[in-house]
Structure 1
């Protein structure tokens, strides 16, 4: 077997998971609600408000879709012992990790395409005009962002030997990089630790950059400036270069690659008993 063979077999398993279908359905519901309320009681509804709503608000749901879909990809099979059968076929451990990543990515991207597809149909039906370039840019950025969470979840799953540890690591990652970051608690903590305790006197811009490096969600919000008009910009015009959208894309790419590489490295050295 190979990476693609592992992915094909795994896809047959993951598509039967009811929790995956449930959280994916929530994202589709978000798409419908954003485009409905964007035009409801509006004489001249603007497409980009609905699209920014789907892109920004939908990101929270997509983190759950990605993590729920991928966190047991390998840890679940290690705990049950079925991973030994998969490796005896034979497959390399790298094939297993990459195959699982491809499968879980396909499921998540499928949810995104359905959500954006419904949004496109509703946009044509309910809005005076749609911006195709903006729409495709938002779709591409959303896919990249969501795949970073798939990579993290697969990486955690590859590095842990049980369901409980995979779940704990995934919940911890979600809580710190998503929940706390969204409520600016990460920013406050960085300011307190780096400036108040260590007296580094870092600027607000520097702290914002560190927060983006620590949280794919914050990097995603920073990269949204590349897609949406200036009136929706989240970055001040005089911000330094390291807060530009292109830098945020590089950070997201790092989040896509590094957890997967570390997961492969850890899994290749794991004692499977």
Structure 2
């Protein structure tokens, strides 16, 4: 009898864990859907999508790939902000309000709380992106008169990975930060660094190693370090999915000469060794998994 009980109990425990994670995820879905900031961002993303295809339908001369590539710009701006705003508040907000202690006493383990909130917010973000892609397919058929579904599906996958990547970062920070303000400050600062200062980070790393700024021919590790930015990885992942017209949304200061492979080729420079496109998908996967894993480990040891 005791042997039978021991053999069954792991499955029972796993079922109970899954049930608690799903319950937390459902609760988080309801709360996230009611977020006014997320609703506003969703409207902005849909509006940008309609405007892009309406402009393309007025005879602007854009190819189908270029029109879909333009969608990558609002996606790179709005999707990360949506993931940060919803993810950063998820755990630190409950900790600050005292709701977290009640949740942990149901009983739910801290790991289950992190996973449940991560899956709940991620589901809402995925549905939002899928809805935008569906609207884009409909609007493209109306304004351009051609079916863009295949190309739009090519950008949907990387956009979902981008959203989950920034969500992983935000959830990891939220699990560690004791207050909403600190979680928001860290995640917003991280996003702004990736958007405005990543070239400075890469050039600084190169200068620390070689005592000079990067110039052609660039070493392969510089390209690899650049690809560590999820925004840059997003554009490369889109290429892996068959959409080659997505440009990374970033600010450059000309510190890394020759990082633009097209201009470098025109200048006759020796091109750096570029990692394969599928590496960008791996990078986005790491942004999803690593911050959540680190945040969960820290959260399990935190004094609440």
In the superposition, the TM-score normalised over structure 2's length comes to: 0.79
In the other structure, the counterpart of 2:224 is: 209
In the other structure, the counterpart of 1:75 is: 92
The equivalent position to 1:222 in structure 2, one of 220, 232, 236, is 236
Distance 2:200 2:77 in 1: 16
Question: Are residues 1:26 and 2:44 paired?
Answer: yes
In the superposition, the TM-score normalised over structure 1's length comes to: 0.88
Q: Point out the more displaced range, 137-146 or 239-248.
A: 239-248
Secondary structure of the residue that 2:284 maps to in structure 1?
A: helix
Residues 84, 167 of structure 2: 8 Å contact kept:
yes
1:250 Cα offset (Å): 0.9
Distance 2:107 2:149 in 1: 46
In the other structure, the counterpart of 2:20 is: 2
In the other structure, the counterpart of 1:64 is: 81
Secondary structure of the residue that 1:207 maps to in structure 2?
A: helix
The equivalent position to 1:185 in structure 2, one of 174, 195, 200, is 200
1:144 Cα offset (Å): 0.9
Distance 1:24 1:190 in 2: 37
Distance 2:210 2:56 in 1: 42
Give the unaligned 5+ runs of structure 1: none
Bigger radius of gyration, 1 or 2?
2
1:194 Cα offset (Å): 3.4
Q: 1:37-56 maps to which residues of 2 (within 5 A)?
A: 37-42=55-60, 46-56=63-73
Residues 155, 243 of structure 2: 8 Å contact kept:
no
Q: Point out the more displaced range, 119-128 or 73-82.
A: 119-128
1:85 Cα offset (Å): 0.4
**Alignment deviations for residues 152-204 of structure 1 (CA, whole Å, 9 cap, x no partner):** 101100011111211121112111122323xx4334333433332699x9925
In the other structure, the counterpart of 1:250 is: 282
Q: Point out the more displaced range, 132-141 or 114-123.
A: 132-141
Residues 219, 272 of structure 2: 8 Å contact kept:
no
Distance 2:124 2:102 in 1: 24
Give the unaligned 5+ runs of structure 2: 1-18, 248-259
In the other structure, the counterpart of 1:142 is: 159
Distance 1:172 1:97 in 2: 22
Residues 222, 243 of structure 1: 8 Å contact kept:
no
Distance 1:189 1:35 in 2: 40
